[in-house]
Chain A
């Protein structure tokens, strides 16, 4: 509890937000606050200024394109995704969002915040990576859109630079997706997670086994091939109180197969 002193701004436009961020290296975006406020409680991080994004309409809303492409504003909450009929075009999104934490966290936590945090235990980075999502980043110099491989750079580190904001996440059309995880308790924190998408070729992303989601494309959806593909990535997962490196490596194989199987059934 008990945050360090901090300044607070609630800009009304994206331009204004970018300006405040650009003016102060120590300014940080505040989305749902479901990670950032906790980091500040622990005083593990202490931004000088919080830029509350909740007033930015540009970052809100879910749009379903005619070709089935989904565009999700960075400030879309998990609850909004779960309730959205547009988002149901890609059912896995709502299904996974419904497994994140609890009602209260889902009511505030945002897809953009989840991606920008890139905590290895978060559900969405591997899912978005598997779905081939693209991330639109706005800065004062303009906008750029990057794929997952270029977006997730490290633990708590993404392509969103100082003074920039993630504005939206674009997910191509598709349906055959799966997600599997071993969690601490039912729908708890991920110990290892795997997301799969079978639209065209098979695309897998593994969570909690490296600083960023590990993306791979197994040659086939045959369980042995999937296991081999995971083995071929020569994972060196971290050990911690919830799992040894060996256990994580093992779970990655098991969950990769299960995510693929779910994708096949969907």
Chain B
């Protein structure tokens, strides 16, 4: 084990969807496990163990990341946005509405990550081209839909 005095646990403070959580965590804990297991925010999912699938995508300080490749301790002091924060009360976001209208989800397991990627895209680029939409979603695997309806939904939300 570590010979230095560097600790394996840390107290962190993370703001998720506007709520600040102060927790003691092991350094080895991934942000996705922190969100799902410690904070019970189970909307973000896990679909792989190699960083390929994007089911765990969240926005950290304005940047889209896969929360399975970030330690919870690295999010200390950060502002995290997850799928649970997309709707305003009972009002679904434009993207959420478009996903429903265009049947852009089947099992819904990839959907939270997909929505976060699309949200990040539309923030940076409110009227993306078809190619830009595809490129923005490349890091999110969906095994149910074949993506075509997802492209349509993002396009519709952008318009």
Contact = CB atoms under 8 A, between A and B. Distances in A.
Contacts of B63: 107-108
A24 B46 CA distance: 33
B27 A50 contact: yes
Interface string A32-61: 011001101110000011101010000000
Contacts of A27: 4, 6
A67 to B, nearest CB: 33
A157 interface: no
Given A3-B30, A6-B8, A104 B1 contact: no
Contacts of A3: 28, 30
Contact of B139 (A5, A20, A102): A102
Interface string B30-61: 10010000000000001001110010010000
Contacts of B30: 1, 3, 37, 41
B66 to A, nearest CB: 5
Interface stretch (B70-78, B89-97, B103-111, B144-152): B70-78
A105 B51 contact: yes
B7 interface: yes
Interface residues of A, number: 34
A161 interface: no
A104 B117 contact: yes
A9 B9 CA distance: 10
A109 to B, nearest CB: 9
B136 interface: yes
Nearest to A1: B49
Nearest 9 A-B pairs (CB), nearest first?
A102-B139, A8-B27, A7-B6, A7-B2, A3-B28, A102-B138, A48-B2, A9-B6, A104-B66
Interface of A: 1, 3-10, 20, 23-24, 26-27, 33-34, 37-38, 40-42, 48-50, 52, 54, 101-105, 107-108, 187
